[in-house]
């Protein structure tokens, strides 16, 4: 039995003699490389927190004393130390989540995988401990330097500092990166702290000042001034935290477990809020993960441990199409600028940043600020493109509504990873944007079905200067182009059954990349003699007038979308038909209004009955039912 195999609970970690810790951390790294190389997952962040996580579980009494992780993608080591070593189905249906999960363990308090939230959870938990009289308990919260760029983290720090006697230990896991190098003034501040090795460094500077003071002829106060200056230069950077009322410890080597453990014990016993600043290296112990400058090993797919080579994912990616078209647009329009929230490479903006660095802004993990800053850029005569993951758009809804849309500013939001994404679990599915944005006055939304439409719609979106525009696209490979049968205004007709003098049975509205499924549905239904018209509105908000007019010649309308069903395109189409006083039933097919578990997208769509076979079966039944009702009604009229 290896040492790691003997660890089933945090108590087992606490019992280890200090000299055995290095063996344990080595085995953990070997385990992570072996497991994640087979399944894919977040490797770099977890290799960087091995010693830190071991120290946390040797000091704190989890679960009585919550150990919380911001974002949560660095929680694999925590899972291992709390009895979860089955990584065989990591992030797959029926397997272990890639983030903390309350359903998995009592040691997981929060399921967040959105950054900058953990300090607010810690503040609330510490207040609850205080009110319950649990004076001996503490809350430990790990937050990265990247997550500290988010405004919510600083709102929480402001409140934590108020509770002078509340025992909150904030561990800043400082590796200088989130997905890519941390940007902004805070990054510069932490960098200055990294360069400052605490009081030892201060004393070295003071000693240097004294050694350079002449023995004869120089007043003593000048030498003392040198000492004072040396101490001030060395210690001053930490004052930002201490001015808030937070005790600061560090910076310390986050890969020296015993040093981290001693610092955490002092912080836990302090009796008030403390920041422990740990310097770590993302990907520690695995050269390919340490050396990659663009973080291919932040969340790799399966890879070869020996070479670091990752398995190539087949097919053209939507992100790549977006990135290429942005570079072309940048060459054509000097007013086009790009904004990202700490995700330059994942959102595909890196080529634009390389071509036009002076027109690219990485604002850190701060989607709210990104939105309002983009609005200011638009007010200044530029056209900003804000590239985000769809799930992170949730955070800046208020700014889109009250800052961008209210002022009728031309800002384009490009939402990567829209729809059902799968592996990263409930917090990462981009299934909300069509619903929440439908209520924003004046905002226009487009959904491309293929690469050609992606390029067209991006160009159309950035041409709008008097309203916010939104373009959403998924994580999957781009399907083959689906040609347009005919144009009706801005709407594309993709399929139309032969007209034999009778009205068509079904108008099938395909939202974006669901067009491939809808065309399959139409072919299946045609085999049963059912007439189907498939349309792709391209712009889904507002609902095109042409779509409403097209519906007039059909018995039933249906909408298929990769979004939560409530308040999305299906509801908008139904409302438009009601407003036009058209008595046409509308069926909507979309994501159930729940939090889908992690798993492969194909599996989840099948579970939701969003396959062509399921949809065709249900719509065949629907059309048949309404056709029978019409026959019954006609028969009643004849008898009458």
Buried (b) or exposed (e) across 94-130, using 16+ Cβ within 10 A?
eebbbbbbeebbebbbbbbbbbbbbbbbbbebbbebe
Q: Given pLDDT bands bounded at 50, 70 and 90, which one contains residue 295?
A: low
DSSP run (H or E) holding 593: none
* 286 is an annotated ligand-binding site residue: yes
What the block records as the tokens of 370 is 């990104």
What is the residue-averaged pLDDT of the chain? 86
What the block records as the tokens of 470 is 């939104």
Q: Given pLDDT bands bounded at 50, 70 and 90, which one contains residue 312?
A: confident
Q: How far apart are CA 411 and CA 337, in angstroms?
A: 10
Q: At what angle do helices 612-639 and 515-526 cross, to 10 degrees?
A: 50
* Cα 227–chain centre separation: 47
Q: How far apart are CA 185 and CA 181, in angstroms?
A: 13
Q: What are phi and psi of 284, to 5 degrees?
A: -50, 130
pLDDT digit string (tens) for 350-404? 999 999 999 999 998 889 999 999 999 999 999 999 999 999 999 999 999 999 9
Using an 8 Å Cβ cutoff, are 530 and 620 in contact?
Answer: yes
Q: What is the pLDDT of residue 234?
A: 47
Q: What is the dihedral of CA 383, 541, 606, 302, to 10 degrees?
A: 0
Distances (CA, A) of 464 to 118, 170, 457: 38, 45, 11
Q: How far apart are CA 183 and CA 191, in angstroms?
A: 11
Q: What is the pLDDT of residue 340?
A: 94
* 114 is an annotated ligand-binding site residue: yes
Could you give the percent of the chain with pLDDT greater than 90? 58
Distances (CA, A) of 136 to 132, 308, 587: 11, 46, 57
**Of the ranges 180-189, 247-256, 381-390, 444-453, which one carries the lowest mean pLDDT score?**
180-189
* 115 is an annotated ligand-binding site residue: yes
Q: What is the C-alpha end-to-end distance of the chain, expressed in Å?
A: 87
Pairing between strand 539-541 and 586-591?
unpaired
Q: How far apart are CA 388 and CA 395, in angstroms?
A: 11
Q: What is the pLDDT of residue 239?
A: 64
The DSSP code sequence of 296-345 is TTSS--SB-TTT-PBPPPPS-BHHHHHHHHHHHHHHH-TTEEEEESS-TT
Q: What are phi and psi of 564, to 5 degrees?
A: -55, 140
Q: What is the pLDDT of residue 306?
A: 83
* 564 is an annotated ligand-binding site residue: no
Q: Mean per-residue pLDDT for 302-315? A: 81
Report whether pLDDT(557) > 70.
yes
Q: Given pLDDT bands bounded at 50, 70 and 90, which one contains residue 210?
A: very low
pTM: 0.84
pLDDT digit string (tens) for 486-510? 999 999 999 998 765 445 899 999 9
* 628 is an annotated ligand-binding site residue: no
Q: How far apart are CA 64 and CA 442, in angstroms?
A: 50
Helix (H, G, I), strand (E, B), or coil: what is residue 35?
Answer: helix
* 367 is an annotated ligand-binding site residue: yes
* 147 is an annotated ligand-binding site residue: yes
Distances (CA, A) of 139 to 63, 136, 142, 166, 325: 10, 11, 10, 9, 47
Q: How far apart are CA 430 and CA 204, in angstroms?
A: 53
Q: How far apart are CA 164 and CA 522, in angstroms?
A: 66
pLDDT digit string (tens) for 600-609? 888 899 889 9
pLDDT digit string (tens) for 12-66? 999 999 999 999 999 999 999 998 988 888 888 899 999 999 999 999 999 999 9
What the block records as the tokens of 372 is 């309002």
Q: What is the pLDDT of residue 216?
A: 45
Q: Mean per-residue pLDDT for 520-529? A: 91
What the block records as the tokens of 519 is 């065309």
Burial class (CB in 10 A: 0-12, 13-18, 19+), 258: middle
* 78 is an annotated ligand-binding site residue: no
pLDDT digit string (tens) for 144-184? 888 888 888 889 998 898 877 889 999 999 887 544 555 55
Q: Using omega within 30 degrees of 0 as the cis cutoff, is the peptide bond preceding 542 cis?
A: yes
Q: What is the pLDDT of residue 288?
A: 83
Which residues belong to the active site? 282, 367, 395
The DSSP code sequence of 518-536 is HHHHHHHHHTTT--EEEEE
Sorted by where each starts, the structural domains of the chain and their CATH numbers stand as: 4-291 (3.40.50.970), 318-472 (3.40.50.970), 491-638 (3.40.50.920)
Report whether pLDDT(206) > 70.
no
Q: Given pLDDT bands bounded at 50, 70 and 90, which one contains residue 238?
A: low
Q: How far apart are CA 8 and CA 83, in angstroms?
A: 4
Tell me how many degrees the CA angle 39-427-432 measures, rounded to the nearest 5.
Answer: 125
Pairing between strand 168-174 and 139-144?
parallel
What the block records as the tokens of 395 is 């955070």
Q: How far apart are CA 402 and CA 421, in angstroms?
A: 29
Q: What is the pLDDT of residue 217?
A: 45
Report whether pLDDT(291) > 80.
no
Cβ-proximal residues to 254 (8 Å cutoff; 6+ apart), any chain: 48, 49, 51, 52, 173, 174, 260, 278, 279, 280
Q: Using omega within 30 degrees of 0 as the cis cutoff, is the peptide bond preceding 251 cis?
A: yes
How many beta carbons lie within 10 A of that of residue 169, not counting itself?
30
Report whether pLDDT(227) > 90.
no
What the block records as the tokens of 631 is 């026959």
**Of the ranges 85-94, 290-299, 570-579, 595-604, which one carries the lowest mean pLDDT score?**
290-299
Distances (CA, A) of 187 to 150, 177, 192, 197: 12, 9, 9, 17
Using an 8 Å Cβ cutoff, are 173 and 52 in contact?
Answer: yes
Q: Mean per-residue pLDDT for 453-481? A: 96
What the block records as the tokens of 153 is 């983290």
């Amino acid at each position: 039995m290896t040492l790691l195999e003997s660890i089933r609970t945090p108590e087992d970690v606490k019992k280890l003699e200090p000299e055995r810790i290095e063996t344990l951390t080595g085995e953990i790294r070997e385990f992570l490389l072996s497991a994640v190389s087979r399944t894919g997952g977040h490797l770099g962040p977890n290799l960087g927190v091995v010693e830190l996580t071991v120290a946390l579980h040797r000091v704190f009494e989890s679960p009585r004393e919550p150990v919380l992780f911001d974002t949560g993608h660095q929680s694999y080591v925590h899972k291992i130390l709390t009895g979860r070593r089955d990584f065989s189905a990591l992030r797959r249906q029926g397997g272990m989540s890639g983030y903390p999960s309350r359903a998995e363990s009592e040691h997981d308090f929060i399921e967040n995988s959105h950054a900058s939230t953990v300090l607010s959870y810690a503040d609330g938990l510490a207040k609850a401990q205080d009110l319950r009289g649990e004076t001996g308990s503490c809350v430990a919260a790990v937050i990265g330097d990247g997550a500290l760029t988010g405004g919510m983290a600083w709102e929480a720090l402001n409140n934590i500092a108020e509770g002078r006697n509340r025992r909150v230990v904030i561990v800043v896991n400082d590796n200088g990166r989130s997905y890519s190098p941390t940007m902004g003034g805070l990054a510069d501040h932490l960098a200055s702290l990294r360069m400052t090795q605490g009081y030892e460094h201060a004393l070295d500077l003071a000693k240097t000042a004294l050694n350079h003071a002449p023995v004869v002829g120089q007043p003593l106060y000048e030498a003392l001034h040198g000492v004072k200056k040396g101490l001030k230069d060395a210690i001053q950077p930490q004052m930002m935290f201490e001015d808030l009322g937070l005790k600061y410890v560090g910076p310390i080597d986050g890969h020296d477990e015993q040093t981290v453990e001693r610092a955490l014990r002092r912080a836990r016993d302090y009796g008030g809020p403390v920041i422990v600043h740990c310097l770590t290296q993302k990907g520690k112990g695995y050269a390919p993960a340490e050396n990659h400058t663009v973080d291919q090993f932040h969340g790799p797919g399966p890879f070869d441990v020996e070479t670091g080579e990752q398995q190539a994912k087949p097919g053209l990616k939507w992100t790549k199409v977006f990135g290429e078209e942005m570079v072309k647009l940048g060459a054509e329009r000097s007013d086009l600028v790009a904004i990202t929230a700490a995700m330059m490479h994942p959102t595909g903006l890196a080529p634009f940043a390389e071509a036009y660095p002076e027109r690219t802004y990485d604002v850190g993990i701060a989607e709210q600020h990104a939105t309002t800053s983009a609005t200011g850029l638009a007010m200044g005569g530029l056209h900003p493109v804000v590239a985000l993951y769809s799930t992170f758009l949730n955070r800046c809804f208020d700014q889109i509504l009250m800052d961008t849309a209210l002022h009728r500013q031309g800002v384009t939001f490009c939402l990567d990873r829209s729809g059902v994404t799968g592996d990263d679990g409930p917090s990462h599915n981009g299934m909300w944007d069509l619903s929440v944005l439908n209520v924003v006055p004046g905002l226009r939304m487009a959904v491309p079905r293929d690469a050609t439409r992606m390029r067209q719609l991006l160009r159309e979106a950035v041409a709008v200067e008097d309203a916010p525009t939104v373009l959403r696209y998924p994580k999957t490979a781009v399907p083959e182009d689906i040609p347009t049968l005919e144009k009706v205004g801005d709407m594309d007709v993709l399929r139309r059954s032969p007209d034999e003098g009778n009205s068509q049975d079904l108008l099938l509205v395909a939202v974006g990349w669901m067009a491939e499924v809808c065309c399959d549905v139409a072919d299946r239904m045609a085999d049963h003699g059912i007439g189907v018209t498939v349309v792709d509105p391209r712009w889904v908000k507002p609902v095109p007038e042409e779509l409403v007019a097209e519906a007039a010649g059909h018995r039933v309308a249906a909408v298929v979308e990769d979004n939560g069903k409530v308040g999305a395109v299906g509801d908008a189409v139904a409302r438009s038909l009601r407003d036009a006083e058209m008595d046409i039933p509308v069926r909507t097919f979309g994501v159930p209004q729940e939090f889908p578990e992690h798993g492969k997208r194909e599996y989840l769509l099948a579970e939701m009955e969003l396959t062509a076979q399921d949809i065709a079966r249900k719509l065949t039944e629907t059309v048949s039912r309404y056709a029978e009702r019409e026959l019954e009604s006609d028969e009643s009229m004849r008898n009458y």
